[in-house]
Structure 1
């Protein structure tokens, strides 16, 4: 799917933060058959059919049934959207002349509307991608609202500076929007290639990951097992920053594996609209088959299948929570992003060894270390080559903190003040100051 927007920041997406005290709040009962009110392309504040009149089916991953037909945009629709966005960006346009504080007010208004329709939007999300309704309601929608309100606050505060330039000059900077921005989700590698072959388009990319989750022998065992499970299985394992390489120090390895297998076996897989469900279906049939293929590869290459490994239902794209032990770094399941509920647990001896192994990956999106020793925590977190390092926690996100990767995990950052930089040009204005009255 391709979305073209004006010169505004994108909404928060992707991996969500941990469930917090919000989980104690009452959640309205879901409507498992929400009305599909909009299935067209939104351009210039209006809904449009695709110019080609083409549509594509969107599938309920819990049943394999068609939810509805959705307008299928192509180049002509993109051109139409870009034309509208460029008109909004023209010098003297109502949007360009709008006060920055008023733009912030509009973002807050959008957040208000999302809060108003939170249950409906959560039900649509669950119907469309299989995410448990309680997670969609408590986590995803909560993060969207907080993200909008955070950047609404920045609208009249991300200002330039005055600079004490040598000589009789007054120098200041302005932060100005780059112009029309295209948001394409996902296909990041294709975007990077296309940008390189064109006219030096600026790109920010949040790509894949194979994030190491390091459990030192002095870690709180109960907490480390819980968090490692959460790090991998949250969102059916479909998180780019999932803790998909679980490294456990050798003297606690056996106990950790035993507890992790027990926890995976007790994970509730089923109807995503049921409040008891912890894991819904994978997002589509292609991903479902891909995950089962990786499981077969893991077994074939000698990893020890400790639980799961099969479809979890007769229909729909459900995969059993799966745990592999005795995984080696050179195995396919230890090197490639599976993007599913497949946990790989590996053994290590020393901190120096694990730092080298953790960094020996083309990815560098996220990492974590669990330890009670603050010196070890600081040492490991500084040594890891990753855009986010969690210490004694995992999947903790906030609109205020930057997110992005090293190496093949992406370019640039989303969220926080750093997330604004990709959307701005910095203009230097220097004025001659006369030293005499003429």
Structure 2
């Protein structure tokens, strides 16, 4: 069994406790590696290293263009190791190898993008209203950033934080989920090879309940970038508020995927399937509420059930597998409990709804693709995030009705709209309370496009031009060039 080490101050080190946590492969059910069970001393050591690195000339002497060079080297190393990193993520969280290969081959683009952007962030000379002053702004890094990532796509979610944060000149402490840590620790080895000074990037693993407070409560941490559940995010945000840390939070979702009667049915069915089942529903942006206009409701469900009923479940390392296992036992139990909840609330099950134990899937954490129809938006299955392969189908009558149902949610991460009418598309994209709206598509992301949520789906955005400024702070400098003592600044000339 492979044993991983923490990565602190440029070296792989054993945890202070010399204790380890097993990590199970959700497909085989067997433990395949061990990760460090870190404690508060490990947390302090990681923040110590990041704090020293931020203040050291080894890192601060790099100008923005030179940081860009390091990020490009890192991007090339990721490309070189994409296959092995993808395979590690599959073993750790059960995501399909086809999806993980795509992610790992695309991740370098974030580092290339922010490498090019690093030296394009310019301050301004202000046309100030005071005589004899030169007044200008500059952007400076925040300091130590704590990145807390989820288990569903560890390296992609980490990249969304690291690429802009490092381009801006910050240092990092990374706490991955205890359910999917291995790929992040393997990833850490690439930073030294790319030329990053020791301590710029640090990774420690373990239970959030044991090291979370030590990390989020450390006054030297200037910003927390978090991806996870809204309940955990709320606790992290409360901790950050105690000493006014900056925060970026990408939290949960219960995203509506809205199909109008005039939509291309084949396209919309494919989009509904990919929106909820392609990643096993284990994605924050999952289109877990399918809103169908009444004239197409019954026929669309019939075709959807027929298409999903033949989906291949099995080995996520097999390129032909279409649905993989649930990533870990607690989540598996939660998904099954949500299915029972939907039954209890009166939703009609039309597909799946059970554990899948056939063939070579008998040892894994598989749940059949599940579809409930006759769902009202008041049911718990329509309001609570399941984070699994469970789709709730809701009828609607008109555009007004669709908007009312879609927006009646505590979440506002994403939404999909399927229609051939451009007017409908534009109106819906404006009226939906969601950070991302896809029209005749679903789950598209890019390093160029901001991503984040309204309401309880988060704070701030990730990716895109503006994101680098979330890792910078503005400094204003006033230089007086006159000979006499400056006038009272509150007296206008």
User: TM-score by structure 2 length?
Assistant: 0.79
Query: How far apart, CA to CA, are the structure 1 residues paired with 2:91 and 2:299?
Result: 38
Tell me how far 1:416 sits from its aligned partner.
1.0
Q: Given the alignment of the two structures, is residue 153 of structure 1 paired with residue 197 of structure 2, yes or no?
A: no
Which residue of the other structure, out of 326, 334, 352, is the alignment partner of 1:308?
Answer: 352
Which residue of the other structure, out of 53, 58, 71, is the alignment partner of 1:94?
Answer: 58
Tell me how far 1:384 sits from its aligned partner.
0.7
Which residue of the other structure, out of 28, 31, 35, is the alignment partner of 1:63?
Answer: 28
Query: How far apart, CA to CA, are the structure 2 residues paired with 1:160 and 1:267?
Result: 53
Tell me how far 1:418 sits from its aligned partner.
2.3
Query: How far apart, CA to CA, are the structure 1 residues paired with 2:483 and 2:302?
Result: 79
Query: How far apart, CA to CA, are the structure 2 residues paired with 1:48 and 1:351?
Result: 58
Aligned to 2:376, the other structure's residue is in SS state coil
Query: How far apart, CA to CA, are the structure 2 residues paired with 1:268 and 1:237?
Result: 15
Which residue of the other structure, out of 125, 147, 170, is the alignment partner of 2:89?
Answer: 125
Aligned to 1:156, the other structure's residue is in SS state helix
Partner of 2:139: 175
Aligned to 1:214, the other structure's residue is in SS state strand
Matched-pair contact (CA < 8 Å) for 1:143–1:399: no
Partner of 2:68: 104
Aligned to 1:427, the other structure's residue is in SS state strand
Which residue of the other structure, out of 378, 386, 398, is the alignment partner of 1:350?
Answer: 398
Partner of 2:38: 73
Which residue of the other structure, out of 413, 431, 455, is the alignment partner of 1:383?
Answer: 431
Aligned to 2:21, the other structure's residue is in SS state strand
Tell me how far 1:45 sits from its aligned partner.
1.1
Structural RMSD (CA): 1.4
Q: Given the alignment of the two structures, is residue 244 of structure 1 paired with residue 207 of structure 2, yes or no?
A: no
Partner of 2:209: none
Partner of 1:6: none
Q: Given the alignment of the two structures, is residue 114 of structure 1 paired with residue 78 of structure 2, yes or no?
A: yes
Query: How far apart, CA to CA, are the structure 2 residues paired with 1:173 and 1:413?
Result: 23
Give a deviation string over 1:376-427, Cα, whole Å, max 9, x none: 1111110111111111111010011111111100001111122222211111
Give a deviation string over 1:304-344, Cα, whole Å, max 9, x none: 10011111122210110111111111111101000000111
Partner of 2:180: none
Query: How far apart, CA to CA, are the structure 2 residues paired with 1:63 and 1:250?
Result: 42
Stretch moving more, 94-103 or 187-196: 187-196
Partner of 1:265: 309
Tell me how far 1:204 sits from its aligned partner.
1.0
Partner of 2:99: 135
Partner of 2:157: none
Tell me how far 1:250 sits from its aligned partner.
0.4
Aligned to 1:247, the other structure's residue is in SS state strand
Give the number of equivalent residue pairs: 398
Aligned to 2:277, the other structure's residue is in SS state helix
Query: How far apart, CA to CA, are the structure 1 residues paired with 2:30 and 2:250?
Result: 31
Tell me how far 1:435 sits from its aligned partner.
8.3
Which residue of the other structure, out of 334, 337, 342, is the alignment partner of 1:290?
Answer: 334
Query: How far apart, CA to CA, are the structure 1 residues paired with 2:355 and 2:42?
Result: 39
Tell me how far 1:194 sits from its aligned partner.
1.5
Which residue of the other structure, out of 372, 377, 400, is the alignment partner of 1:324?
Answer: 372
Query: How far apart, CA to CA, are the structure 1 residues paired with 2:19 and 2:117?
Result: 39
Structure 1: stretches of 5+ with no match in the other structure: 1-34
Partner of 2:172: none
Matched-pair contact (CA < 8 Å) for 2:83–2:104: no
Aligned to 1:136, the other structure's residue is in SS state helix
Tell me how far 1:74 sits from its aligned partner.
2.4
Partner of 1:166: 129
Which residue of the other structure, out of 375, 394, 403, is the alignment partner of 2:451?
Answer: 403
Aligned to 2:278, the other structure's residue is in SS state helix
Query: How far apart, CA to CA, are the structure 2 residues paired with 1:424 and 1:162?
Result: 18
Query: How far apart, CA to CA, are the structure 2 residues paired with 1:302 and 1:416?
Result: 43
Matched-pair contact (CA < 8 Å) for 1:206–1:410: yes
Give a deviation string over 1:209-241, Cα, whole Å, max 9, x none: 001111111111110110011011121110101
Query: How far apart, CA to CA, are the structure 2 residues paired with 1:349 and 1:326?
Result: 14
Matched-pair contact (CA < 8 Å) for 1:87–1:93: no
Give a deviation string over 1:150-172, Cα, whole Å, max 9, x none: 11111111221222111332221
Matched-pair contact (CA < 8 Å) for 1:189–1:207: no
Partner of 1:30: none
Partner of 1:84: 49
Query: How far apart, CA to CA, are the structure 1 residues paired with 2:383 and 2:292?
Result: 17
Matched-pair contact (CA < 8 Å) for 2:233–2:249: yes
Query: How far apart, CA to CA, are the structure 1 residues paired with 2:98 and 2:129?
Result: 59
Matched-pair contact (CA < 8 Å) for 2:452–2:459: yes
